[in-house]
Amino acid sequence: MANVSVASVSRALNGHGGVTAETQQRIREVAARLRYVPHSAARSLITRRTHTIGALLPDLHGAFFSELIRGIDLAARARGLHLLVSSSHGDAEEAATALRAMQGRVDGFLVMTPHADEAFIEQNMPTPTPAVLINTHVPGHRHAVVDIDDRGGARAMVQHLVDHGRRRIVFIAGPEANNDVRERENGYREALEANGLGANQLIINGDFSEESGFRAAQAILGMNPRPDAIFAANDMMAIGCLSALAEAGVNVPGDIAVGGFDDIPMARYVSPPLSTVRVRIAELGETAMERLAQMIESGEDMVVPPRHVAGTELVVRASCGGSAPSRRRHAPPTGA
Amino acid sequence: MANVSVASVSRALNGHGGVTAETQQRIREVAARLRYVPHSAARSLITRRTHTIGALLPDLHGAFFSELIRGIDLAARARGLHLLVSSSHGDAEEAATALRAMQGRVDGFLVMTPHADEAFIEQNMPTPTPAVLINTHVPGHRHAVVDIDDRGGARAMVQHLVDHGRRRIVFIAGPEANNDVRERENGYREALEANGLGANQLIINGDFSEESGFRAAQAILGMNPRPDAIFAANDMMAIGCLSALAEAGVNVPGDIAVGGFDDIPMARYVSPPLSTVRVRIAELGETAMERLAQMIESGEDMVVPPRHVAGTELVVRASCGGSAPSRRRHAPPTGA
DNA sequence: AACCCCCATGAAAACGTTTACGTTCCGCGC
DNA sequence: GCGCGGAACGTAAACGTTTTCATGGGGGTT
């Protein structure tokens, strides 16, 4: 102590006023000298604020989540918030457990999980805690929602293929439970229908793995008449396709054009470079975090911001045989 | 309340005994019905345990950190610990701030930052808090250290190149401040000397970016006599080399062999597939986390485990012209 | 039948803050 | 000169747990 009561210390360090500039100065000096740090638990106990937000993600693996976390972290630290991460490895029960474990430890949730259907939300999300649902099409109005424009991106890709003369476009789907996939498939369908090709729907199931893309391409090569384009629901499957096609001696994009989704860093490096749909993932995370911060600050009469949809961007490279590849060899991929 | 005092509730929920099985049962039922969750701040206040560990990383970008966090998360959740992440974007001051901000909020630190020299540690790490330093060559004995065997990995790669007849091997270094790079360079040197090639040291500086690898390769092409192998301190630079060499019409590995370090996912997909040194990153994170948990549990008379060095693994693919590429086309890369 | 010990339970202190509420002191106006 | 207002600061309550200690009751032993 520096000849002063705990109350004054609190006031001095929090800068709430009610204390002379001089004593504030003195207290701060002493605090620094003593390497005093306020006990955050005690503070949280009385303040009911933890200055921490909890992120529940389906997995922490791969470029997607890396980018997402990065965006979230960026926005969080800009606001002086801490980030508590947790992955819910596939299992819905595990996700619920993780959510419960974070309960009370955080001021708000950032939730992205395939298990987040309405019942799950209802059951496991404490009403008073603000939450932003990422990429989760739940109609509820109690939580904010931030989505990727999967449908629009898929439409753009298919439209591009159609514009360049492709007519028999196969879509390689992903795991059925996945919302993104459903939306990408919807976009595929809409684009075909918009071009009077509704009857040409060709859908093969995959599971997001390179392997499944490889197998899908083999199946496609056996189809008659042979398709002239493949649109995979993600880049890894598209890359699997490229392998299979190369192995079979099929020319890409001459014989078959290939498009993916995500624009993972690798997409630029495969041969031929993969056309794909870029999602500004870090931006998605930032937006979600910003929304959440806003909800938290709004306090009692919480305002739930309207649904936000993160745009996508068609990245044309050699694999889809469109215009000259827009890939400049040594420009770093934007946003990556 | 269920006809019982707060003390009994505490005992029932924590299972410390001192309460009838019957009442414990009853209390738990009521708690579940009321969706009661203990206030973690209050608990931390008295327990002086947060059940949270703080991870300070230099960045959250890219495959490396994605893997690292994944490993950490895995080990953390296996022990029921929460994970607070923070990136210290480059700046040492920022790292210090982040560390201070986590102070008191966590039971232990996982620190990986290029700024973690001795002074930094001394200044910013609160002595009583357990900490594990990842990939940080600080001699202090107060903290545990977990490292990558950069030197051994580099030696293995260079030895492999020498074994296959290469004699003029260029090393492309990374940012000077980086510990990994220094060690990789040491390994390079040691391997050359061990083979009586100590006089053939050829080192070019890079900065870990693809671009710098590209430029380095151009420089190398101008050297006389021309080197017959390139060993880049990381995969991205190696990939930049491949681009430059392909552009110049140089045959890889015929004219020049190329090796990288990290085994990023992309390494398998470039052309030719890149030989590299794999680091089991997730394992590194897991080990670090386990050590930390061990230190935390050991309590007052904290035992600091001895330095642990995560092994590396030479991954031979086509780019180094060794034996037939060991890459099986559709086996998923192990550990990725 | 009396005593003792142990176990289940309750009461209360403690953890380290924030904040509402007093208290003191100073300066100013009447 | 007296009173009054306001600013600076101290006192103490409150936050929700855990844990120590006290209390009571039941069962076993002598």
Residues of chain A with Cβ-Cβ distance to B217 below 8 Å are none
Give B92-105 pLDDT, tens digit per residue: 888 888 888 888 89
Rounded (5°) CA angle A37-A38-A42: 150
Band the pLDDT of B1: cuts 50, 70, 90.
low
Q: Which residue has the tokens 């404490």?
A: A126
> Mean of the pLDDT values across residues A101-127?
82
Give B114-145 pLDDT, tens digit per residue: 776 777 777 777 777 899 999 887 776 778 89
> Within 186-245 of chain B, which residues have Cβ less than 7 Å from strand D?
none
Nearest nucleotide from residue A45 CA, by C1' atom: D15
Cβ atoms of residues B160 and B320 within 8 Å = yes
* Residues A184 and A298 both lie in one domain: no
The two tokens of residue B318 are 């086509």
Determine, yes or no, domain membership for A109.
yes
* Residues A186 and A103 both lie in one domain: no
Q: Distance between CA atoms of A207 and A219, rounded to whole angstroms?
A: 15
User: A12-26, A29-43, A199-213, B205-219: which has the minimum mean pLDDT?
Assistant: A12-26
Does any strand D atom come closer than 7 Å to the Cβ of B251? no
> Mean of the pLDDT values across residues A74-82?
92
pLDDT given for residue B290 in this prediction? 93
How close, in Å, is residue B77 to chain A by CA atoms?
A: 8
Q: Per-residue pLDDT for B332 more than 70?
A: no
pLDDT given for residue A1 in this prediction? 57
Q: Per-residue pLDDT for A233 more than 70?
A: yes
Q: Per-residue pLDDT for B324 more than 70?
A: no
Q: Distance between CA atoms of B95 and B112, rounded to whole angstroms?
A: 10
* Residues A167 and A222 both lie in one domain: yes
- Shortest CA distance to B318 belongs to which of B269, B278, B277, B274? B274
pLDDT given for residue B255 in this prediction? 92
- Shortest CA distance to A227 belongs to which of A201, A188, A249? A201
* Residues B235 and B294 both lie in one domain: no
pLDDT given for residue B274 in this prediction? 94
The two tokens of residue A269 are 């490096």
| % of chain B residues with pLDDT over 70 | 93
pLDDT given for residue B330 in this prediction? 32
Determine, yes or no, domain membership for B44.
no
Q: Distance between CA atoms of B241 and B243, rounded to whole angstroms?
A: 5
* Residues B244 and B137 both lie in one domain: no
pLDDT given for residue A330 in this prediction? 32
Q: Per-residue pLDDT for A323 more than 80?
A: no
pLDDT given for residue A35 in this prediction? 85
More confident residue, A330 or B260: B260
pLDDT given for residue A327 in this prediction? 37
Determine, yes or no, domain membership for B325.
no
pLDDT given for residue A5 in this prediction? 80
Determine, yes or no, domain membership for B73.
yes
User: A66-75, A174-183, A202-211, A233-242: which has the minimum mean pLDDT?
Assistant: A174-183
Band the pLDDT of B28: cuts 50, 70, 90.
confident
- Shortest CA distance to A126 belongs to which of A151, A149, A147, A108? A108
The two tokens of residue A196 are 């009077």
| % of chain B residues with pLDDT over 90 | 47
Task: Note the helical H segments in chain A.
Answer: 6-14, 21-33, 40-47, 63-78, 92-102, 118-124, 150-163, 179-194, 210-221, 235-247, 281-298
> Mean of the pLDDT values across residues A160-172?
94
Which CATH number covers residue B213?
3.40.50.2300
Q: Per-residue pLDDT for A185 more than 90?
A: yes
* Residues A111 and A78 both lie in one domain: yes
Give B63-84 pLDDT, tens digit per residue: 788 889 999 999 999 999 999 9
Protein-contacted bases of chain D (C-beta within 7 A) = 7-12, 14-20
Determine, yes or no, domain membership for B67.
yes
Q: Decide if B82 and A102 are in contact by the 8 Å CB cutoff.
A: yes
Nearest nucleotide from residue B20 CA, by C1' atom: C8
Determine, yes or no, domain membership for B327.
no
Q: Virtual CA dihedral for A317, A322, A324, A327, nearest 10 degrees?
A: -10
Number of domains in chain B: 3
Q: Per-residue pLDDT for A125 more than 80?
A: no
Q: Which residue in chain A has the smallest CA separation from B331?
A: A211
3-class DSSP state of B82:
strand
Q: Distance between CA atoms of A14 and A107, rounded to whole angstroms?
A: 20
Does any strand D atom come closer than 7 Å to the Cβ of A41? no
Nearest nucleotide from residue A47 CA, by C1' atom: C18
pLDDT given for residue A136 in this prediction? 80
Q: Decide if B69 and A85 are in contact by the 8 Å CB cutoff.
A: yes
* Residues A133 and A208 both lie in one domain: no
Q: Distance between CA atoms of A37 and A51, rounded to whole angstroms?
A: 15
* Residues A159 and A272 both lie in one domain: yes
Residues of chain B with Cβ-Cβ distance to A66 below 8 Å are 60-63, 65-66
Q: How many CB atoms lie within 10 A of CB B92?
A: 16
* Residues A199 and A294 both lie in one domain: no
Residue of A36, A82, A100, A264 for testing the chain B interface, max B β-carbons within 10 Å = A82
Determine, yes or no, domain membership for A27.
no
Give A264-321 pLDDT, tens digit per residue: 888 888 888 999 999 888 889 999 999 999 999 887 677 788 888 888 999 999 998 7
More confident residue, B188 or A6: B188
| Domain that includes residue B15, residue range | 6-38
* Residues A287 and A186 both lie in one domain: no
Q: Which residue in chain B has the smallest CA separation from A239?
A: B269
- Shortest CA distance to A87 belongs to which of A53, A119, A111, A123? A111
- Shortest CA distance to B255 belongs to which of B234, B227, B284? B227
More confident residue, B261 or B30: B261
Band the pLDDT of B44: cuts 50, 70, 90.
very high
Among A62, A103, A211, whose Cβ lies nearest the Cβ of B66? A62
Cβ atoms of residues A170 and A139 within 8 Å = no
Rounded (5°) CA angle B181-B187-B191: 150
Determine, yes or no, domain membership for A22.
no
* Residues A80 and A225 both lie in one domain: no
Cβ atoms of residues B56 and B99 within 8 Å = yes
Instruction: State the DSSP code for B273.
Output: P
> Mean of the pLDDT values across residues A152-181?
91
User: A259-263, B126-130, B216-220: which has the minimum mean pLDDT?
Assistant: B126-130
Q: Which residue has the tokens 């630190």?
A: B109
Does any strand C atom come closer than 7 Å to the Cβ of A44? no
Band the pLDDT of A217: cuts 50, 70, 90.
very high
* Residues B160 and B274 both lie in one domain: yes
